[in-house]
Structure 1
């Protein structure tokens, strides 16, 4: 999945990801921090937002993990964490699924790992 500058609509603060893992295109909202980062990057409107090869990303991930002394953390684990944080922020499951691309409630549940201490805060 490659993000190109032409797939980001800065006026609407959205990005379109084409041909995602499940084969569908998906339009996602950009958070304020994500929007700020993208807006600050140099742009070649015909090119990729992140002009890195898959192997370069994998190598950087391994290096960062090694520096942090973390042995068992996979890049895909970030999706689990992000899904859980969206629920904790108060988004409902339909909103989260629209962002993450999960098509079924069952798959969304597999990616959601809520912490009891965060649920206590939500209960008041």
Structure 2
């Protein structure tokens, strides 16, 4: 759920730390964010939607990482869950695309969606402009309610 609502990539999620989370500013520091020209040292502050903040708030503070899991473990569990649910041809990275589409569908403007997704150019965001729906299609999603209820 965090990947969907934050639009973060799998490896980025595993590098998020409590020290880089600024709840008062609704943002988190993403270390070594994927960038075509910079492989390391591309640290960037990104905005977090309220749903993503609620999920972060529900996490125990046992380690310095907010989500103390390896990308391999996430991949294995995601693949297992998809198989168990009979979902075919869904990849973890698809959650990032769905999250960005959701931001636009809810009326987010280009600067806001860029601040959440970390994209720095309109060229990269253009692929999401074929949107027809409006509103938050996840507003009544049971999985989100579970995250909210754990607060």
Report the TM-score, using the length of structure 1 for normalisation.
0.82
Query: Do the aligned partners of residues 64 and 113 (structure 1) sit closer, same or farther apart at CA in structure 2, a change above 3 Å counting?
Result: farther
Q: Is the 8 A contact 1:81 1:113 kept in 2?
A: no
Q: Which runs of 4+ in 1 moved over 4 A?
A: none
Backbone CA RMSD of aligned residues: 1.9
> Which residue number in structure 1 is paired with residue 20 of structure 2?
7
The residue correspondences of 1:1-124 to structure 2 (distance < 5 A) are 1=12, 2-22=15-35, 23=38, 24-44=42-62, 47-110=64-127, 112=128, 114-116=130-132, 118=133
Unaligned runs of 5+ in 1: none
Alpha-carbon deviations, 1:84-122, whole Å to 9, x = none? 111111111122112112222221122x16443x16x8x
Unaligned runs of 5+ in 2: 1-11, 136-151
Query: Do the aligned partners of residues 104 and 12 (structure 1) sit closer, same or farther apart at CA in structure 2, a change above 3 Å counting?
Result: closer
Q: Is the 8 A contact 2:30 2:43 kept in 1?
A: yes
Count of residue pairs brought into register by the alignment: 117
Computing the radius of gyration from Cα coordinates, the structure with the larger value is 1
C-alpha distance in structure 2 between counterparts of 1:13 and 1:94, whole Å = 15
Select the structure with the greater relative contact order (CA < 8 A; seq sep ≥ 6).
Answer: 2
